[in-house]
Amino acid sequence: MKKAINKVIMKLIRIIQRITVQPLLLLYGWNHGLYAKAYMESYVQYKELIQCVFFQKILRINSHVPWPVYFTSRVGDPKNIHFDKKYVRNFTAAGCYWQGMSPIFFKGSFLVAQNVTFISNNHDVHAIALHDLNVGPIVIGDNCLFSVGSVILPGVKLGDNTIVAANAVVNKSFPEGNCVLAGIPAGIVKKLNPEMITKGTYKDFWG
Residue pair 88/34 in contact by the 8 Å Cβ criterion: yes
**C-alpha neighbours within 13 Å on the C-beta side of residue 7:** 4
pLDDT value, residue 8: 76
The torsion angles phi and psi of 41, rounded to 5 degrees, stand at: -95, -20
pLDDT value, residue 158: 98
Alpha-carbon distance of 71 to 54, in angstroms, equals 9
Extract the residue ranges of the chain whose pLDDT is less than 70: none
Task: Work out the widest C-alpha separation in the chain, in whole angstroms.
Answer: 73
pLDDT value, residue 134: 87
pLDDT value, residue 194: 94
pLDDT value, residue 3: 74
Domain boundaries, the chain: 2-206
pLDDT value, residue 201: 96
pLDDT value, residue 154: 97
Residue pair 38/25 in contact by the 8 Å Cβ criterion: no
Nearest-10 crossing angle of helices 2-26, 43-53: 50
Which pTM value belongs to this model?
0.91
Buried b (16+ CB within 10 A) or exposed e, 134-158: ebebbbbbbbbbbbebbbbbbbbbb
Domain spanning 2-206, CATH class? mainly beta
